Amino acid sequence: MKNSDIQIKYKIWLQRDTGEDILGKGGADLLETIKEFQDLGKATKIMKCSYKYAWNILQKIKKRYGESPVVTFRGGFGGGGGIKLSRFGQKLLLFYKKFENYVEHALTNSELWQTYGLYTDLKNNINGRVIDIKTDSQVAILKIQIEPPQDIYSIITTESVKDLELEAGKDVLSCIKSTEVLVSMEKEERS
C-alpha cells in the first residue's frame, strides 16, 4: 500500500453532549449563505435546495439547541424583509469554520504528515539501510548507510522502532527536515 493510494475524507458534525447533531457541512453552508445575502430565498437558490428544506435545517438547530441560529424581520409595502444570523448563529458558524479550517490545515500540512510517517517530500528523501540500532527505554539511535558508502544517524523514539519494525539490514527511507539538520561554516577536523 502506498500513501498516494489513500485519500483522507472527513465530515465535521457539531453535537450536543446528548449526542444530538446540531450542525454539519450543509447547515454551516446554509448559515454562511444567509450571513452573506440575508435572504433565505436567495440562499436556497445558491445552495440548490428547497425553501422548506433550508427552513427545516434552521428549525432542527433551534429545537436541538434551544436557541435560533437566525433572526427574521418583516419588510414594509415594498418588501425588504429578510433573515440574518443571530448571535448564537454567528458563534455556531464561527466555531464550525474554525474547526473546519484546523482540520483542513492538518490535512494539507506536509510536516505534520511526515511526523506521523504518512507523507514525505521527495526532495529531502535518502534511501538507505539500517546498519545498527542502539536503544534505551525511550530513545533509539539508528545508524543508516546511504550512497556512496556514508553513514547517517537518526534519533527516534523506541516506540517508532517497534511501530516501523526496524532492524539491522532493513531498507529505509530517511527524510531530512531543515529544522533538524545543523549546518556550520567551519569544517570539523576528524582524527
pTM of the model: 0.59
- The identity of residue 180, as a single letter, is E
Three-state DSSP at 117 gives coil
Q: Which CATH code is given to the segment(s) 122-180? A: 2.40.50.100
pLDDT in tens, 66-88: 999 999 988 767 667 789 999 99
Least confident range of 76-90, 102-116, 150-164: 102-116
pLDDT in tens, 162-181: 888 899 999 988 877 666 55
Q: Which CATH code is given to the segment(s) 3-108? A: 1.10.10.10
What are 90's three cell numbers? Answer: 454567528
Q: Cα(177)–Cα(117) distance, rounded to whole angstroms?
A: 13
**Domain extent listing, the chain:** 3-108, 122-180
